Chains A and B, each alone.
Chain A
């Protein structure tokens, strides 16, 4: 595995190169935060900026979230496995253009969530070590995870329906409605979000359990077949709601029913804006 330090060097070099040649307007990557363990998303606009780029195990942010706000600019984006899937998914959805993107692929394993101290692997949200689509690869390809990313669901799936409801009810009750999950998510780009609509008002504006439930269920649904399992929602959550579990389960359902995972191929169509006559009615049972 290429050391993070080397990836950082290559990232700087590549960014400098791209900016110098004017091939991109800016490079979305990582910069130094208030300490080593807390890097920040960083936009390099000049080759001097590129010097400030960093990459270490705490650079977990999915930068596709920023890229989607700049659909018309020519940009470069540092992308780890799941991040590249997010870019692909956004291209599928017509939010980004492949020709406007320079994807700086970063094969990365052993990323760490600074807040929880957990290492991201297939049990959480680090199933994809290698970017699926990229223009340059800033490190050597890594062996992909051996275990299914869905194994972690076993525990919840083993519970009774009542048990699962109890689990989710407790989690939804913690929700502060800070909307960090939707704001951190590269796929949550709706404007306005259904939660911000006043007519119809889909859920209570105030943070009630019922409103929270409505918010999360609807958001899960909106991400069905689109979620690339980057885990940003879960890491962003100040009360640590394990949102990724629900997203994973829907991703698994989509794979089983429609035989397609989100953000893997540029030519795919998102599963819920597509259909097959052969889908069959069994999926409704």
Chain B
């Protein structure tokens, strides 16, 4: 026990200084304030408006999917040579976003970063929703989606199996594993809070529903012991998983022969990009929610600053990735690679390439300035820019590499159709709807972990 703990100095300070939990809270207030968001706080008009808008987009998504299934992927802009378009761009974008949550929960947990506590629950939820959106695309971009199950290994009357050398099959395993593990991680984290809600809930229905979800959690010391152990193990497993998932996604490209895809820098640079976009999205969502639900006490400026720093760091890694790509292209002496890079810079899609550099490389440089890290509004704007930038990056990787490959005779152009956009907007709607539901029905912040941040949580030994 450090001397600091003995000293009666709430608020809790982490080594770095500024607080991760505002002063003046105890077990009761923490518990009541957070559970109140779900149990007692009346559903605001703002929530209804926001939810209805996002849900309208979900309807658009459903309509697009129905049209897609009856007519075919030809409703999109894809063609030969550009066989992948928005679908894969969006898939990679969403799956990238879906990396922050588990990263924050798992890796920061292993690193004993206390400040993670108040944002991990939220980040994990966001991860799940993002992965759910991502999952739609590989499924629906297939020419015959109703045969999706052929990608899964199961004994069948054709005696055929998936082709395990194909990165797409790796994707199936990686993404579904990631979804399951993130789900378990999230749910396990929720169980004690479900118990809290069960015990706080005033309505019978609430008690039953949260009761079932709590699985009869009663906070037994023995349970806590195994619980902690399991949670630690999960974190240990999730950390490499996060890294592997986007690595595998990058294999979709890196394993091919295509100039602009066939590149060894992809795995690390995709992972960095994923964390980058993930944190950007967390900020994009956390900053407004924090303001609306008055959670400044729990999600303090300290959190925003730390996330801003992560954003800056990963942004620099990504920038390095771009640099290496360009360098490699010219250094390789491979005419196709060289042409691709030139084509990116001055070809028909040059505007996208340059705006991606502006968004992803210049944008985060602002975060060198304290002002940008501490000012939520500015930080929010930067995070938006990064979200856009990361989408553009995937667009450049997927489309620009495909549209001019080896034989000039088959060079082509690509542009998304209204249905491409409808689908993209639809998934954004789906994502937001899920976020709104989450805000309404589940504790946004891990209550029991917040308790552990309080000084009272420390047992004072008489004879220490």
Bound together: no
User: What residues of chain B have their CB less than 8 Å away from a CB belonging to chain A?
Assistant: none
